[in-house]
Amino acid sequence: MKEHMLQIHNRHGKAILMYVAGLGSRAVTWFKRMRARLLAAARQLHRNHSGGLRWAVRVVIGTTSAAAIVIALVLIVGLCHVYFDRANLPDIEPFARLEFPAIGHVYDTNGQQLIELAKEHRQIVQYGDIPPIVRDAILAAEDRNFFSHNGVDYSRIPRVLSKVRLGTLLTRITRFGRADEADSLAMLRQGGSTISQQLVRAYFLRNLTDAENSNDLRPGALSYVIGARSAKKLVRKIEEIRLSLWMERQMRKRFGSKRRAKEEILARYASFLYMGDGQYGFAAAAEHYFGRPLASFTMADADKAALLAGIAKSPRVYAPNAPDVERISHRRNQILALMVKRDFISQDSARAAEQCPILVVAPGKVNMPQAPAVIESVLRELKGDDPEVSVQYLLLGRIQVYSTVDTRVQHIVNEALERGLLMYEKAFLPRAADASSTRSGPTLTATLIVPRCLCGNLAPQ
């Protein structure tokens, strides 16, 4: 236990010193503002009530002291939870094996695609599949110290603390029992999350994130002190830090080195992230917005790389096809400036990229299945007793189905069948043929499936 404590101290000593320095500086400013507010409140009470000055000072100091004790206890419990609690950890295996929901396909016997089926339209990429210009844009926009930290960037803590709304926090502490607002946010307005933390939040902590955005108040002293929404966000942030440190340790053990682990984490980030318009992952977004494979991006595509990297902040606002073009352009140019600052691109390249118009490809037409009866037959066969060969696995992209149907032959047979049905109707159902323009009378329909061989194939992913 002593050695473990020593290890933690050595690893995070510098970061903790930076944290204390930032906290101390912020505390001085906070107490100066608090003193001014106390004096103003005291003068007001002194005018309205006899002996109000002494009463106001005692109540405010007592309330503030109690709030400080609550916050200190929460921080102590939170630190113990982050660095020492190893209970209730999620299963790392699906994450490590890159088992994200992807796209399932049904093919004919020649490998021609019949249909795409998916719950989440995602293309999974490996680290080597991400072009350097896209990697640089991601790191510049989201996490400049990604390859050096261990899941949490402690140098960001002073910046996060500087965004705390001290006036709102003090007003809440001294509100004397007034009702709270679920949507008010006094703390943690600046997230400071690393790529690892964003990935943990999206993959492991969806339930906590959903609860954080709800209007349900969380009871307890912490909610009274900092507000319901801030309390929920603080709880989620503590768990996010704990799992980020744990996830990076597990990935280092699995892949043998910190560098390899970081590359694998970045690949999962680029594959899992929601990119707007029903697209998941940078590869799917590149094809959806720009009509190009992600692997084709070069240094000349710095503008497009910056646009993709900017989506993570808010897909609804910063997706390239969002309505506010000026805001999207501003976000892109910010990322280009950060790329110049990190020496990823030159100033001239950034200027040229800033001049590029934001152009997205028109939405493609929805392709109808080439052989709907074949697909219906495949889905019916997948509704068997084997849980690993199921429609659910196809929708998650865990299996790909190769049917026995030859699309070319099927097309010829469909045309012959249609001609035969038309001739039959004319010969034996003349009234139906004459009334076809008014859509009345009986109509013959049929489906003929022509297999090439007696068995198909299921290819696991």
Q: What is the DSSP string of 326-393?
A: HHHHHHHHHHHHHHHHTTSS-HHHHHHHHTS----PPPPPPPPPS-HHHHHHHHHHTSSS-TTSSHHH
Residue 45 and residue 178: Cα distance in Å, rounded?
18
Structural tokens at position 264 = 């694998």
Asked whether the predicted pLDDT for residue 132 surpasses 80, the reply is yes
- DSSP structural state of residue 176: T
Q: Provide the percentage of residues in the chain whose pLDDT is more than 90.
A: 34
Instruction: Please compute, for residue 191, the number of CA atoms within 13 A of its CA located in the half-sphere on the CB side.
Output: 14
Instruction: Please compute, for residue 349, the number of CA atoms within 13 A of its CA located in the half-sphere on the CB side.
Output: 21
Contact (Cβ atoms closer than 8 angstroms) between residue 100 and residue 396:
no
Where do we find the tokens 């659910």?
Answer: 392
- Range in 136-140, 171-175, 319-323 with the lowest mean pLDDT: 171-175
Whole-Å CA distances, 394 to 204, 205, 337, 401: 23, 25, 43, 8
pLDDT category of residue 267 using cuts at 50, 70 and 90: very high
- DSSP structural state of residue 220: S
pLDDT tens-digit readout, 311-348:
998 999 999 999 999 999 999 999 999 999 999 999 99
Whole-Å CA distances, 63 to 12, 45, 88, 221, 373: 33, 17, 35, 12, 71
The model's pTM is 0.68
Angle at 210 between CA 125 and CA 277, to 5 degrees: 45
Mean pLDDT of the chain, nearest integer: 75
Identify which has the larger pLDDT, 236 or 413: 236
Instruction: Please compute, for residue 113, the number of CA atoms within 13 A of its CA located in the half-sphere on the CB side.
Output: 9
Instruction: Please compute, for residue 320, the number of CA atoms within 13 A of its CA located in the half-sphere on the CB side.
Output: 25
pLDDT tens-digit readout, 183-204:
455 455 555 789 999 999 989 9
- Specify the pLDDT at position 346: 95
Cβ neighbours of 365 (radius 10 Å): 6
pLDDT category of residue 298 using cuts at 50, 70 and 90: very high
Residue 295 and residue 305: Cα distance in Å, rounded?
11
- 38-52 residues labelled b (16+ CB within 10 A) or e (exposed): beebbeebeeeeeeb
Structural tokens at position 371 = 């052989």
Give the list of residues 6+ apart from residue 293 with CB closer than 8 angstroms, or none: 283, 286, 287
**Selection from 316, 166, 279, 188 nearest residue 240 by Cα:** 188
Structural tokens at position 247 = 């996830």
**Selection from 141, 140, 139, 132 nearest residue 294 by Cα:** 132
**Selection from 457, 344, 442 nearest residue 404 by Cα:** 457
Residue 356 and residue 290: Cα distance in Å, rounded?
13
Q: Where are the domains of the chain?
A: 2-85+145-253, 372-460
**Selection from 353, 358, 359 nearest residue 340 by Cα:** 353
**Selection from 157, 221, 154, 155 nearest residue 26 by Cα:** 157
- Specify the pLDDT at position 364: 60
